[in-house]
Structure 1
């Protein structure tokens, strides 16, 4: 069996809209390494897009899932509920930032979590409008696609977006957008497009994921919280990519000193098993009536079991602290290349949610060709990287936080050589 043969079959069998970054077909994986069907080893700096923060096949996650498989696999919590669903909600209600009573609902995907957050916000406020930010990514369903602040490939050819969704600029110093400019634009939205009394929620990623790994300035989040409080608007923190130790905190909002009213999460929660959630103020979460929230597979018994193990691993192995150490090493290594690589515009990111942005030398013009060249060279040498950003000129680094030190050092050597040789 070869990668090329499977790729040919894939072309015939799978819809073209399901894109792939590599033509590496995985056969097995362990922690931060995977092996393809041809037996070649790769170091995984994608982690399923920040899903396996605790590594591929973490023994404790596998053990929890195996134990659950001996008990039951599905009843639908809305038909025959189970205790470990309740217990996971109790744990998340404590872990999510905010000194107030909270409640939780479990769903299956990040997009579904974002959809439900909007539903809950509308039910709680009696309002319909939602404000999101340019460069943000929230999913591929119609509501989340509408919230997403990037056209290609997510909105291309799909027709009219959902109504009552407005976009404001996200503050990015590198791109000349200050916090003041972002709030001036938000004020214009309130003046020209929608009265704030009609806005149910503002949704924001504390660190933009697909948009380029731009961290929201603390001042921005503080002022956003103030505006929401002033106008009775709910603040939704999209922590789908930022959650579960990735930024050096359990949740990225802990860096900002303010709490969201609703928090969406998925990805890293299940350690590779599908599970997502919305956690928020108890009175807000209780706004929809019975039956208004949920789903057949929402909070699957297997996903719930995996999530408990993930939370245990993060605490017991001090993964928040490890994320800080790994991110500091990575950023120091990449920043040291600036003199030799004029294409490097910025190295950034909290914890182990890091990125490097490339422009044309001596210019503010994005350089997606350079970013892709680095990705391809690294892949040829056995390291899997992902690009991101509205212009595709950013490489993001998302290896499992549990990556062994020697494997991390090996990957950094490959990444450095790929960048230097592309310059």
Structure 2
């Protein structure tokens, strides 16, 4: 058992990063400063601390590259109107009577095909508000439906958090996406139930005329809208089906370019890709900051102390997977950062304990969606702003969101226990 930093120092560094994030310091800088202080207080010395931070950040580069290229797909789906077309089609097909289910399913699918969860909610929000006004459904119910659907879609998507988890555990991205399909569907069902119950509560915030946005964007037909994501799914599926490996670094931008071509937006390719890059640059920088604190935690005694605690409590080693995802995502208020730190820190320990890498990655990933939407993160504010909801009202949804994430986590754990 060797380590460069003690547990107390690593935890203090993480706590400092959390406080700085709450104080509105940029999350990347918060994490970097927290890593530096944590390493110094952890007894590593300045040289060792900086070297460990750099090593941790460099370990993020493969994920960052894939995430940067995924921006082409995300930008294409948003700017061509494809994401909105998919959402509108689902809502229109299911109708007002099934509005809550329609909103949840639409957000899940938009997120699952590669649009980030916060952007998925923002994309579906205008449609949800319009149908909510007609069906007399509260904003709380609509937002929960979108967030829950997004959480379900996020654990089966080629999004940054999935990429980071698959990289850390060394598992195939497609296999990890497939592994969490059942947990995702269970989370979707719970979302619809909770949002439907919430819609029946009195004194909810109702949609006003001023909340409705009118879009004049000409949307593509449904076939053109889904062709780009379909190409991505086919390319990624070639590995488990035919043994042909197409890396997400290739598959995601190819799907984006197909989307641009079939929607007749080729002349706008440069502006669309620049828009897509602008949507992923923030999370890319965040991942580099995350890598620094992850490096300190990984090189500390924290993982050994946690294992010892589990043994004292007589708990099996696999519990570390969902627990680490829950705690780290809650600490950083980010699914991506939480999944990354938990996966990079505990992957070797979990695998050494006999937990299959794919199952461990799935449990960590699902766990990172439980309390990832706390107020010190951007997701909390972006989603609340999408429906013009106050912070006080937005806070009331956190327990419901946690139940959705907890559902997928429990199912992921049960699947490991039952089938490995």
TM-score > 0.5 by shorter chain: no
Higher-strand-fraction structure: 1
Between the two structures, name the one with larger relative contact order (CA 8 Å, sep ≥ 6).
2
TM-score (norm 2): 0.28
TM-score (norm 1): 0.28
